[in-house]
Amino acid sequence: MLIRELTGINVGEVHDEYAHALEQLVDAKITGSELVEPAEPAPALDLMAALQESVRAAERAHERPPARPRP
């Protein structure tokens, strides 16, 4: 209730992947059924490389053209 009041997040809408996977594991162990392997997750994004590229792009966008020599 405190989280909902302070953040405006409806806790009922939040899905806990770990708890769900753990429940499936426990149910499979109890019933003796076979576990299904989860799909391979997408590769993680290199956040530092993405940040560095973003900074370089912003710097390029704000660069001034070289001054022309005066005659």
How high is the pLDDT of residue 65? 67
34 in Cβ contact with 28 (< 8 Å): yes
Cα–Cα distance between 54 and 63 in angstroms, integer? 14
pTM: 0.37
Band (pLDDT 50/70/90 cuts) for residue 54 is very high
Alpha helical stretches, state H, 1-71: 2-7, 17-31, 47-62
Cα-Cα-Cα-Cα dihedral sign, residues 21, 25, 31, 32:
positive
How high is the pLDDT of residue 52? 94
pLDDT at 48 over 80: yes
How high is the pLDDT of residue 3? 65
Band (pLDDT 50/70/90 cuts) for residue 71 is low
